[in-house]
Copies of this chain bind each other. A is one copy, B any other.
Amino acid sequence: MRVLITNDDGIGSPGLAALVHAFDAASEVYVVAPEHERSATGHAITLHKPLRAHPSGIAGSAAQAWATNGTPADCVALGMLDLLGSRPDIVVSGINVGPNMGRDLTYSGTVSGAMEGAIFGVPSIAVSIGSFRNPVFTTAAQFAVDLAQAIIRYGLPEDTLLNVNVPNLPGPQIAGVAITRQGTKRYISRLEKRTDPRGRTYYWLTGEPAPQMDDEGTDSWALARGQISVTPIGLDLTSERLREVIARWPLAVPFETPHQ
């Protein structure tokens, strides 16, 4: 199995090292990851400045590794189009410190790395650990290997990926694996308004988890029950239900265009 590993916490992140070590035993591992943290970067790609990739390494592993000045999606593109020489069998993005679930998914650099893999037509998974504090990666890393092997065996349909969130618990305390749907849980955005030493206003954008609990069967529901959550994600964002509604609206090409 040829594996391309990326992340958004940066190439020095212990979550990435844990993935590399878990895959090392049975795979040919390549790492292309941002040289520094690129969290909340969304599915950004870099078109307006040159990209660089520096040979790097992961302690305790012989995996070929590169650190780049790009986003997770850039890293996958650089790996696919040049660094790896040929396509990998799977792309694994993570392990992110902190969950990637619910409405926050579209902000996630970790998920965007897997999205880019899927757009390249390679089966891809994103892996996150459900806590920002004292993360223990071993169970999540081994689950990623098991899941990758299942994907190699059974295949993933085109234009899909799997988003995995693992509770931050020792393996024996994890209450099984749930195949979930994306919940609606989100961070409530807050803005801290401050004044700099020169008297000018600046802002810090922060967030806190919304208090509402998600429904049964969602990603955050499974995680709260101590289960590993696996959410199948599609790249088609069309809302078919809304499509039927809008089709009944009286929309037409404007006849008058006031600012010719």
Contacts and interface: CB of A to CB of B under 8 A. Distances in A.
B246 A230 contact: yes
Given A22-B258, A193-B82, A239 B249 contact: no
Given A179-B246, A181-B240, A232-B242, 19 more contacts: A22-B258, A42-B43, A42-B44, A42-B71, A50-B203, A51-B202, A51-B203, A52-B202, A73-B107, A103-B119, A146-B251, A150-B251, A159-B184, A179-B247, A181-B236, A182-B236, A230-B246, A232-B239, A232-B246
Contact of A231 (B71, B171, B174, B238): B238
Interface string A164-204: 00000001001011011110101001110110000011111
A189 B205 CA distance: 32
Given A42-B43, A81-B190, A171 B257 contact: yes
A259 B42 contact: no
A112 to B, nearest CB: 6
A53 to B, nearest CB: 7
A107 B239 contact: no
Given A182-B238, A243-B181, A253 B51 contact: no
Interface of A is mostly: mixed
A232 B74 CA distance: 28
Q: How many identical chains are in the complex?
A: 2
A253 B82 contact: no
A67 interface: no
Nearest to A45: B40
Contacts of A132: none
Contact of A259 (B52, B106, B107, B138): B138
B107 A44 contact: yes
A250 interface: yes
Leading 5 A-B pairs by shortest Cβ distance: A42-B42, A234-B239, A232-B242, A42-B43, A138-B257
Contacts of A193: 82
Interface string A143-175: 101110010001011011010000000010010
A122 interface: no
Nearest to A112: B42
A233 interface: yes
